[in-house]
Chain A
């Protein structure tokens, strides 16, 4: 079975730039993984994501070296419109993704472009809106919706294409914390119930890391850390310009008091259970 993502010795330089923004990136992602990708601004995480759906090299041009296969396709040889069937892409700002007069039209847009028959389109739109919990908004105008609702519609329009992989580039940047958490919960559900592979670029590790099976940290064009979040947080992510959740900082202080934890807690439920054992 092909892997969801297979990247070997990938190097990339944007047109007109005088340095590489990706430096010998190697990465294998199995189907069904939930990958949380993070790193300081300019570390290359957005650039790497653009390679996953072929925006690099087909739209951005530039100089791409190495090998990259996504959902079994050689990205360099596969046009963007074919990659779009396998890889859904969600941007920071849903406004850049929604343009129709109704939610239904937006979700149907990609399918209509494929020339799919009406019944199948209707079935898929119904299903996608149901999955993201936005069924009752199908005749609403996207601009009437809140930021969180718009992001759900953007996700629905990608799901309708039945992709193998969904890549989200800071999808919650403009959302309030509760709404952001609901988006992460939705991704968790899609991952567990549909087996959808998720690559989520985020700074909000405090809210997102509990859902990830794998945390990857990039720095200056390279992958510098890659592993299970509960153990990876033993590394000092601050050195790579990444904020460590406060729960983790607290447990590190406890380690300074002589305790040691093989797995660091990612939720307050887990943290409180561990602490109770220590103090009572």
Chain B
């Protein structure tokens, strides 16, 4: 469990990126954190693996205050995949990149090999194992960044904007990867702007704006809240917007995709056809 209690964070330049943030994430949950550029989303998740320690307040991971643990200890448990994978790579080959953390954690050679093989396979990168990470395409880099974290099997997987630069099929793959983690009982936290991705996944959804959490609810409710979406510089899903235009009702909820809307529209069509 990750507990964020009354957390404020101020950067050395004086900018306060988190203001009075309270949040509990249970084991096995899938949580999306959404909000405008600069809302504090990335600052918040950097507190989960101890990269940042709160200026005020407390962050507790599985009962331990992050102030009492090193990043090395925490990152074994909490795997963070950064938004821009280039910032994360430094090895000569894809294979070494994926093995890096395992070597640091002191795994045995044959165990390292087994796990690296498995992670590369899972992310569809086996054919590139001898390539330089910097020669991969944007989508492959992203999958490599995920591979080098899932390889040490963390309990919490934190993904910062996993769908940037990914096409339709790669997004479906990322959804599959997330679902398989959840099935293993792991916790997945995703920072994202990608509304349609959230519509597919329907996780618990947290909206942030200007350093504060402004909503923490189901995806159905969060993505139907036009006022707070606007505050967080988000747009409603297309289908939700259409439903609002069509039915002119302020209390619509959970009409996020084409199937949701069809359930409502179909009886109306049938009624019309009978007339």
Contacts and interface: CB of A to CB of B under 8 A. Distances in A.
Interface of A: 39-42, 92, 146-148, 170, 173-179, 181, 203, 206-207, 238, 241-243, 245-247, 249-250, 253-254, 257, 268-269, 271-272, 275-276, 278-280
Interface stretch (B19-27, B43-51, B178-186, B230-238): B230-238
A268 B261 CA distance: 13
Contact of B241 (A175, A268, A278): A268
Given A178-B235, A203-B168, 10 more contacts: A41-B137, A173-B165, A175-B37, A176-B234, A178-B234, A206-B196, A241-B167, A243-B167, A246-B238, A268-B242
B245 A250 contact: no
A272 B269 CA distance: 14
A245 B164 CA distance: 17
A268 B245 contact: yes
Nearest to B247: A272
B168 to A, nearest CB: 4
A279 B269 contact: yes
Contacts of B38: 146
Nearest to A279: B268
Given A146-B37, A147-B37, A275-B246, A242 B196 contact: no
Contacts of B261: 250
A179 to B, nearest CB: 6
Nearest to B259: A253
Contact of B37 (A170, A176, A206, A253): A176
Contacts of A176: 35-37, 193, 232-234
B227 interface: no
A41 B166 contact: yes
23 contacts: A39-B167, A40-B169, A41-B139, A41-B166, A92-B165, A170-B165, A173-B164, A174-B161, A175-B37, A176-B36, A176-B232, A179-B36, A179-B37, A206-B238, A238-B168, A241-B167, A243-B167, A246-B196, A257-B266, A268-B241, A271-B242, A272-B245, A278-B272
A271 B240 CA distance: 12
Contacts of B126: none
Contacts of A42: 137, 139
A278 B266 CA distance: 11
Contact of B235 (A170, A173, A181, A271): A181
B211 to A, nearest CB: 15
Nearest to A93: B84
A271 B239 CA distance: 10
A268 B234 contact: no
Contact of B239 (A203, A243, A246): A246
Given A41-B167, A178-B235, A272-B246, A250 B262 contact: yes
A253 B272 CA distance: 17
Nearest to A178: B233
Contacts of A268: 238, 241-242, 245
Given A241-B167, A278-B269, A278-B272, A179 B241 contact: no
Contacts of A253: 258, 262
Interface in B248-271: 257-258, 261-262, 265-266, 268-269
B249 to A, nearest CB: 13
